[in-house]
Amino acid sequence: MPPTPAIPPHRDESLVRDSGAACAPDRGDAGQADGDAVRGREDARVRDRAAARVRDAQTGADTLVRDRGDACPGALRLHSAADGSLARLRLPAGLLTAPQARALADAADRLGDGHLSLTSRGNAELRGLGDGCAAPLADLLRAAGLLPSDQHERVRNIVASPLAGLDGQGADGGAPVQEWARELDRLLCASDTAPALSGRFLFALDDGRGDVAALGGDVTLVAEPGGTALLRVGDDSEALRLPGSEAPRAARTAAEAFLSVAHEAGHGSWRVRELPPGHDAAAVRALLRTRLPQPYETTAAPAPTAPRPPRPSTLTTPDGTHAALSLLAPLGRLTTAQLRRLADVAAQDGHGELRMTPWRGVVLPGLPPEAAGPRLRELATAGLVTDPASPWYGLGACTGLPGCAKSLSDVRADAVTGLRMDGTGGPHQAATGLLPVHWSGCARRCGHPHGAWVDVVATGDAYEVSVRGTRHAAPATATVPLTEPGRLADAVASARAAGRTTP
């Protein structure tokens, strides 16, 4: 097993699925008084949401009414957390140049806690930011070209297939979804309407392999053979088929159509799935068709698939001329030394580009094939996950104590303890496809994976272990006291093995 990395507090809430309280600011430290205050505010928000649902029931609507804008952090709107302020930087398609990666490392060292957090949308977070850091951080990000528009910085949520064009997979051996992402980002930043989108609204650009199409995008583009693309709004059962060259502009138009439908509905919806009946994804699609250059063909939406994250490894292009490295950050955290090393490899041997993935990984494209193996071993020595047989592969956790006042346990430390005691280790996962594991400090389960996973959630004096996200009957929940880490590790291993048959 590789050395256990340091585990600084971390909070990744980019895919939280509750009604929005997870992105509301926490204030104060993790002490009892502040924790009680935070929980009191959370209880009030829960009561407000319950009242909203009662109103919906009385009117026959099964939806959520929002009476405020979302409070998701950004690069300019910092979030006050127990370990200092947090900045969340949107990285369309997860793309960073090597100089930009070095600039983020400098920012983390000068202003933060010396780490970069990778989120489940391929974005980046800086934590532990001190008082008065907002202005110097913004200046640093602007100088690096990471803030093309202050007004739009929170709505540039674009995920794209990270291996597109690198392994011969996807439509036509690799659709240009990275180029789609750049164009969509440019169009969003030029839109007077787009700033009204929630900081949670998500664009997913899939090259046809089905990886990011499974991430629950509000607007999803899926490349097809022959140069066409399918555009799907939310979980609509139908999609529009259009030329790939029109896909980015159509995606922006779809987001603007969502805003129109949401405004008409009057529920303050942040995402497509929150729209009320009669103003749903189909209504957005219908309005979108009237705003496109022509009424493109409607067809059945692609069948849902399980998320398929890239495994840590080396990949080679079909013609054998270039290789790429796929790596993971243990528990989604990169030290600044690791980030600079990745930037050096990208600049010296690759195309000068880093692709952050929605599975808290990094892909480095464009290496000479002969350099890929030595570079992968070098990055393994630096503490990155480079082998699907690693016990770190498939392991995730929220912040937990002491970084989050809402947490009931130090879940990151507990996850590492469980990893050390788990007799299955990592080699079995590569061979048998065991489910990923996510440790959560409370029932909100911040940052949990899409699809099926083993859920390990703290309840105060115990953990509950179960399989979630399955379409079939899953194993029963096991409750294990905090004082029995060996038994807890066994329960997690058992759930992972049993869950293989119930995804």
Closest CA to 162 of 100, 218, 94, 115: 94
Q: What is the pLDDT of residues 129-172, one digit of tens each?
A: 999 999 999 999 999 999 999 999 999 999 999 999 999 999 99
Which residues make Cβ contacts (< 8 Å) with residue 85, sequence separation at least 6?
A: 78, 79, 128, 129, 130, 131, 133, 134
Q: What is the pLDDT of residues 375-411, one digit of tens each?
A: 999 999 999 999 998 989 989 998 788 878 889 999 9
* Cis previous bond, 402, omega within 30: yes
Give the span between the Cα atoms of 478 and 339, in whole angstroms: 38
Torsion angle in degrees (nearest 10) through CA of 95, 101, 104, 105: 150
Scan for tokens 């490349």, then name that residue.
Answer: 223
pTM: 0.86
3 vs 457, more confident: 457
pLDDT value at residue 328: 96
Average pLDDT over every residue of 214-229: 96
Q: What is the pLDDT of residues 290-335, one digit of tens each?
A: 999 998 999 999 887 887 889 999 999 999 999 999 999 999 999 9
Residue 424 has pLDDT above 60, yes or no: no
In the β-sheet with 478-481, what is the strand arrangement from edge to edge?
395-397, 437-440, 453-458, 462-468, 478-481
For Cα atoms 287, 291, 293, give the angle at the middle one, nearest 5 degrees.
140
pLDDT value at residue 68: 77
pLDDT value at residue 450: 85
Q: What is the pLDDT of residues 228-242, one digit of tens each?
A: 999 999 999 999 999
Give the span between the Cα atoms of 438 and 394, in whole angstroms: 8
Confidence of residue 52 (pLDDT cuts 50, 70, 90): very low
pLDDT value at residue 316: 95
SS3 labels along 414-432: HHHHHHHHCCCCCHHHHHH
Give me the DSSP letters along 385-423: B--TTSTTTTEEE---TTT-TT-SS-HHHHHHHHHHH-T
HSE of 8, CA atoms in CB hemisphere, 13 A: 19
Mean residue pLDDT of the chain comes to: 85
Is the Cβ–Cβ distance between 98 and 343 less than 8 Å? yes
Q: Where are the alpha helices (DSSP H) in 69-228?
A: 98-111, 134-143, 177-189
